Amino acid sequence: MHKKNTYTYLWRRAFIRTDEFSGLFVRLTLIGLLITIFMSNTIMAVLVLLLFSYLTAFQMLPMIRLYELHPTRLLYPVPMINYRRSFVQLLRSLMAIQTVLFIAVVFITFNFSAALWMNVLLLLFYLFFNFIYAPSKIKKLTDSF
């Protein structure tokens, strides 16, 4: 395993093994999907999906502190930038899975023109959160250790 992949492996295992985060991801995704399926108002549906995307992503951010004081972080001489990048990569993967599921349900539930603009908003949120907001927030959270 290469040094740059050390934390990628660690974060994947932590997500799968930690009920707090994996359960949260599954629950919020399923609730968002179910609410959207039974909604007929497109504006409310997109607001609900954006809300659940935000709730999921924002509540995943504290996971970065999971290994803050863990001995394995001190044992391996891997730069902190790899620690952050690996976490951002995991967050992007999880949010991509959720966004794809939301997009699929929107295309199934709503007519094409409504689904198109709803999905554009979902993709814009995904891009903003994962490429602008999350990296800066994660840097602030990890600057202390």
Overall number of domains in the chain: 1
**Rounded average pLDDT over 26-47:** 96
Q: Residue 55 burial by CB count (10 A; 0-12/13-18/19+): exposed, middle or buried?
A: middle
State residue 139 phi and psi, 5-degree precision: -60, -45
State residue 122 phi and psi, 5-degree precision: -60, -45
Q: Which residue has 């992007």 as its token pair?
A: 92
For residue 102, what pLDDT is reported? 98
Whether pTM exceeds 0.85: yes
pLDDT per residue over 49-86, tens digit each? 999 999 999 999 999 988 877 777 777 777 888 889 99
Q: Looking at 40-44, 67-71, 85-89, 91-95, which range is the least confident one?
A: 67-71
Give residues with Cβ within 8 angstroms of 18, minimum separation 6. 63, 66
Q: In 3-state terms, what secondary structure has residue 79?
A: coil
State residue 68 phi and psi, 5-degree precision: -55, -45
In percent, the amount of the chain with pLDDT more than 70 equals: 97
pLDDT band of 3, cuts 50, 70, 90: low
By residue range, what is the domain housing residue 8? 3-142
For residue 70, what pLDDT is reported? 76
